[in-house]
Amino acid sequence: MTDPNLREIIIDILDEILEQDGYLHLVLNQALDKYQYLSKQQRAFISRVSRGCVEQLIQIDAVLGQFVKKPKVSKMKPAIRCILRSSVYQILYMGGVPDSAVCNEAVKLAKKKGYGGLGGFVNGVLRNISRNKEGISFSTLSEQYSMPQWIIDLWENQYGEDKTKEMLSALLEKKKTAIRVNTSKISVEELRTQLEDQGIKVEKCPEISYGLYIGDYDYLKAIPQFVQGLFYVQDFSSMMVAHVAEIKKDDYIMDVCAAPGGKSLHAAELLQGSGMVEARDVSDYKVSLMQENIDKSGMKNIRAVKWDATVLDEASVEKADVVICDAPCSGLGVISGKPDIKYHMSREKQLELAKLQRNILSTVWRYVKPEGTLLYSTCTVCQEENQKNVEWFLKEYRSFELVEMRQLFPVDGTQDGFFYAKMKRGK
């Protein structure tokens, strides 16, 4: 089988994400599945350039804006725009790739995409950037950290300039893969040994005994233990939800916005075969994702159910010992893992999500038994979705009291931005 042109694959990936509003993790995973026969190094090159272009898009476009007066980046042919963006990323961020090779391959791609007449333009722009890259500078935090200005303004208003810069820097760090060991099937040490025997790098998670970080692997589906359901990919901060919920034997747990089911499965494991977890979400697709993960886990004390969290289920009122409400959110705490989130989100959408979260909370609290627990969480660092929503809830529903509230911030690729609040219902 003839190997395809790796850079052409990257251009096709970027076109689908940046020109057609595709989602990075879905488009990239589909491409990597399609080209499983490529070597680990080739697949890593595709992944790094594709992700890197999305992650550094604002900065890359700022660089192009400094060297190309006409046409503006937004007015370029989509294929040429993708070729230039991917090439600039390689020139600025990948020292092991010769600039001359990047320029030559870009010209070839322009011709292959039907724009041979623009080959000289592409070549001139990239060689000019290559010759002058040491003198490139950025005038704004938005360009420096490749973050939309509205997000920077919001964070500076809520957390100050220093904390904002700390978060911006952390979100550009390479994200480590955090996993939760399925201790119902294998011990932490046994899994660690099996992974290390495959050449996979394994590190302990400081706060969660059954959490690990893994690296130096090709792709997850090539790891037998992942396929067998011996571990799940789940960030440490996300693990904290079930970890702090004080789940007891025989508890009935409801996870009302559960897909793809990581927190629900975690809760089921903590029940050690007893009780029941009802994992709910709004669509058939999301329920199918949960069911797939449930089937892989082999656990019997968990079921997937289709239900809209904004609609009251009278049959479930005061039925649950613990309700987990990991509400739909802006996702701005997980940008390091899903960098395209920052382009899909807006301030208006974020405020609408904060309203939706209140709507959900005003419904699902009724499922909590007297003396039961409501665990509210999001994967963002925006106060309207987090602290302010909890403050509102406690004023509206005075039968609940706050037990614990914690805002986690992004940290050096090891921790996502995440929020949780544990609230107890009175008798």
- What is the C-alpha separation between 103 and 88, in angstroms, rounded? 9
389 and 329 Cβ atoms separated by less than 8 Å: no
Assign 3-class secondary structure to the chain. CCCCCHHHHHHHHHHHHHHCCCCHHHHHHHHHHHCCCCCHHHHHHHHHHHHHHHHCHHHHHHHHHHHCCCCCHHHCCHHHHHHHHHHHHHHHHCCCCCHHHHHHHHHHHHHHCCCHHHHHHHHHHHHHHHHHHHHCCCCCHHHHHCCCHHHHHHHHHHHCHHHHHHHHHHCCCCCCEEEEECCCCCCHHHHHHHHHHCCCEEEECCCCCCEEEEECCCCHHHCHHHHCCCEEECCHHHHHHHHHCCCCCCCEEEECCCCCCHHHHHHHHHCCCCCEEEEEECCHHHHHHHHHHHHHHCCCCEEEEECCCCCCCHHHCCCEEEEEEECCCCCCCCCCCCCCHHHHCCHHHHHHHHHHHHHHHHHHHHHEEEEEEEEEEECCCCCCCCHHHHHHHHHHCCCEEEEEEEEECCECCCECCEEEEEEEECC
Q: How many CB atoms lie within 10 A of CB 418?
A: 27
Active-site annotation holds for 379: yes
Q: Which of 53, 103, 379, 382 is catalytic?
A: 379
Which residues are known catalytic residues? 379
